[in-house]
Amino acid sequence: MPLVGPWLFSTLFAIKTPFAAAIKPRFVSVEPHRVALRVANRRRVRNHLGNVHATALCTGLETAAGTLAEATVPPTMRWIPRRMQVEYTSMARGPVTCTAETSPDAWIDSDPEVHVAVRGVLDDGTMVIAGVVTLWVTSRP
């Protein structure tokens, strides 16, 4: 976790990224190759069934993957999300911890596509969403 602590980091992140701020992500851990954040089951992110909406889950996963990229990519490189493939595996009836992970080897290849494994899990361990966010990573001009 950055030196400012989870609450302040989450607040500053929300100021910098207004769209992601809509889900009010609360970062649990931020380190190279792994980021975890929580999306609360608040009224603002619920669907008509009272579950965390699919769009909020995807925003949480993309936010985790993007933060992982920022924590992992060297300053000489830049990144942008290129593709996201997810599978909804269960209803999100409570707060969801969204996690993004890569291995150090994923960043070594000359292929500009980096695949980030993402998943969302309830407090009881039930996986509600899983997939891959593909990042396009290139040298800065």
Would the pLDDT of 86 be above 70?
A: yes
The reply to whether the predicted model has a pTM over 0.85 is yes
Bridge partners (DSSP) listed for residue 117: 101, 132
Task: Give CA angle at 116 (114, 120), nearest 5°.
Answer: 165
pLDDT in tens, 95-135: 999 999 999 988 887 789 999 999 999 999 999 999 999 99
The helix/strand/coil state of 68 is helix
pLDDT in tens, 63-76: 999 999 999 998 88
The distance in angstroms from the start CA to the end CA of the chain is 30
Would the pLDDT of 1 be above 60?
A: no
Would the pLDDT of 47 be above 60?
A: yes
